[in-house]
Chains A and B, each alone.
Chain A
Amino acid sequence: MITLEHVYIMTGIMFAAFAIGRALDRSSARRWRSAAFWGTYALSFLAGSHLPDLANGMILMALVVLAASGLASADAAAPIAERREAAQSNGNRLFVPALTIPVVVLLVAVFGKKLHIGSAALLEPAHRTLIALALAVLVALALGCALLRAPLLAPLREGRRLMEAVGWAAVLPQTLASLGALFAAAGVGRVVGQLVTQAIPMTNGSIAVVTYTLGMAMFTVIMGNAFAAFPVMTAGIGLPLIVGRFGGDPVIMSALGMLSGFCGTLMTPMAANFNIVPAALLELPDRNGVIKVQIPSAVLLLAANTALMALCVYRR
């Protein structure tokens, strides 16, 4: 069976190759720091499942310290004249590997369930999408190298260039998700929920709705994740007040409440994988450039969600 662990090993090998590539580049300043950063991240993928928690924690701390010390900047892209020339000779073949990724993901999504070796599933059922993505990358790489007659090391060199352009932000989403776990363990959610319910007098259903949707959005802004906000706000306000005291419908409340949380996700740097990483990936000079564009849409949708819930939740 192909499992998530195999995908982790593949990812670890890629990061290890990035680290080696950086270490071998004698011309670059800070090459050892950067090599150590990507090498440490590689170690987490390769060995994380087998290391004790403390060692994994030390790996994370090492990544934080290395990132704070400043990493090497990415290599420059190939000159535009060269790329234009390549574009001319490669033509529309260039789109084949690019579109291979979604096509393979789609095929695995549709047919992956049916693949078996004997009686065992070929792909670990719980993680089929992530495994599909990894398989799609392998197919696209093979196609790309064959169609474009690229040297075998080119994907690693160019991949490292893009990865180093993202830099330490690559590790931020995973670190934030871990912070969420620490917040949960320390009971941050419960305290915030109590504060909100004590601070606002819930005299009628509409006030409860507004508090709930705005609370979902704001708590998501703080935690970076609507999934963390949902249990807190729903247990604190949604169920006892909207459903319990004012007789609202739990389905409408939950569905629109979660979507209000998503409006919060659009507005916060804490949701790094959606907001900070794309800014780095697209080489925006402003780290918050994506958030700034999203805020108007998010505010309008939050208002619409609130109105929709206020209108519909008490009608049964």
Chain B
Amino acid sequence: MLVLSGIAIVIVGFALRLNPLVVVGVAGVVTGMAGGSSLTGVIETFGRAFVENRYVGIVWLVLPVIGLLERAGLRERVQTLITTLRAITTARVLLAYLLLRQVTSALGLNALLGQAQMVRPLIAPMAEAAEERHGAITASIRMEIRAFAAATDNIGLFFGEDVFIAIGSVLLMKGFLQQSGYVVAPLDLALWAIPTAILAFLVHGTRLLLLDRRLKRARAAAR
């Protein structure tokens, strides 16, 4: 039971809005020591895992490209273009991106699109510009549109990737079931991800259309 103290620290730390990095560091040390390791043992395990997980940080490599383009006016160019397209709305931008993200992930192309390389430089500015076409928008509406853009990327990725047979989660399931004595085909696992993928598109897509309607109402009220 003592090993659960790390979970308690994480929950309390996040609830109190302490610096998450510190919370996670403390939780790790406490959990390790509760599990019977020495302090140096815990720091060693932490260090080994940290180095093994460096691949998570590789995505930051795109920031110099994005920064360069933003300095050269990418956001402003996106806004100019969107203004000329009458049929574009915030929801339509995000719906198209949701579909694209799901389909490319289902084909195993996870790294093709993403938060740093696509949402920040292109998708969020497009979604914002589609609403700004009707006049200035408040900061809170801008932030809501951005949050929806980020959420759309995540939902598209999560409920697309499992349709691909060679993705990590499908292989993990196959491997784990095999260890436990059940031989299953990755294709069958991937097929059973399709109903949820379709539902995800419908559920999140509907919420995007509702967002459009809410934006329209806010516009009418402001006038």
Contacts and interface: CB of A to CB of B under 8 A. Distances in A.
Contacts of B169: 226-227, 230, 258
Contacts of B116: 281
Nearest to B161: A262
B63 interface: yes
Contacts of A214: none
A297 B204 contact: yes
Interface residues of B, number: 112
A58 interface: yes
B74 to A, nearest CB: 5
Given A60-B46, A182-B31, A285-B143, A254 B109 contact: no
Interface in A125-183: 127, 129-130, 132-134, 137, 140-141, 144-145, 148, 150, 154-163, 168-183
Interface stretch (A23-31, A114-122, A201-209, A288-296): A288-296
Interface stretch (B48-56, B83-91, B129-137, B215-223): B48-56
Nearest to A270: B10
Contacts of A97: 65, 68-69
B46 A57 contact: yes
Contact of B66 (A10, A162, A177, A183): A162
B4 to A, nearest CB: 6
Contacts of A59: 47, 50
Interface in B30-61: 31-32, 34-37, 40, 42-61
A275 B180 CA distance: 33
Contacts of B59: 133
Contact of B80 (A8, A87, A106): A87
Given A230-B173, A285-B143, A90 B158 contact: no
A241 interface: no
A15 B61 CA distance: 9
Contacts of A55: 47
A184 to B, nearest CB: 9
A53 B10 contact: no
B3 interface: yes
B21 A86 contact: no
A303 to B, nearest CB: 10
A153 to B, nearest CB: 10
A10 B58 CA distance: 9
A294 B10 CA distance: 21
Contacts of B144: 293
A191 B2 CA distance: 10
Nearest to B22: A68
A154 B68 contact: yes
Given A64-B21, A94-B72, A159-B67, A87 B77 contact: yes
A56 B57 CA distance: 16
Nearest to B14: A269
A113 interface: no
Interface residues of A, number: 142
Contacts of B162: 255, 258-259, 262
Contact of A127 (B3, B55, B117): B55
A14 interface: yes
Interface in A64-93: 64, 67-68, 77-78, 80, 83-88, 90-92
A137 B203 contact: no
Contact of B75 (A45, A83, A92, A308): A83
Given A178-B50, A262-B159, A87 B147 contact: no
Nearest to A133: B111
A196 interface: no
Interface string B192-214: 11011001100110010000000
Nearest to A286: B143
A20 to B, nearest CB: 14
A181 B124 CA distance: 34
Given A187-B35, A293-B148, A304-B199, 20 more contacts: A48-B51, A55-B47, A57-B45, A60-B43, A102-B118, A130-B58, A133-B59, A144-B72, A174-B56, A178-B28, A179-B6, A180-B49, A188-B6, A222-B11, A227-B168, A227-B169, A251-B189, A259-B193, A262-B158, A292-B147
